[in-house]
């Protein structure tokens, strides 16, 4: 069985971020101002912090995954069950 590896998991985290963000805005659960705050947080985490603090480039994917978790809690008003 093959795993995704670090690049695949990074891709999944980034795609999930944009999909959940778009769903939240289109469904009306996420106001545009809050959506821009999430986009700003994503931009800072993905592009600014790795250049300001070089070791931070190693934790960009977990940072985006944390944003995904917060987005799920905000958009779906709680945790999403897997079963």
Convert the pLDDT of each residue in 13-43 to its tens digit.
889 999 999 999 999 988 989 999 999 999 9
**Domain contains 67:** yes
**Domain contains 68:** yes
**Domain contains 8:** no
**Domain contains 22:** no
Domain coverage including residue 69: 28-74
Residue 59, Cβ neighbours under 10 Å: how many? 15
Give the residue carrying structure tokens 């809690």: 73
**Domain contains 9:** no
**Domain contains 79:** no
State the DSSP H helix or E strand holding residue 33, giving kind and residue range, or none if neither.
helix 32-43
**Domain contains 3:** no
The rounded distance, in Å, linking the Cα atoms of 6 and 29 is: 31
**Domain contains 4:** no
What is the total count of domains within the chain?
1
| pTM listed for this prediction | 0.80
């Amino acid at each position: 069985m093959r795993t995704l590896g670090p690049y695949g998991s990074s891709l999944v985290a980034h795609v999930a971020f944009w999909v959940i963000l778009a769903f939240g805005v289109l469904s009306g659960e996420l106001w545009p101002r809050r959506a821009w705050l999430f986009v700003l947080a994503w931009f800072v985490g993905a592009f600014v912090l790795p250049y300001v603090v070089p070791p931070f480039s190693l934790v960009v994917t977990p940072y985006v995954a944390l944003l995904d978790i917060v987005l799920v809690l905000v958009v779906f008003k709680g945790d999403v069950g897997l079963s």
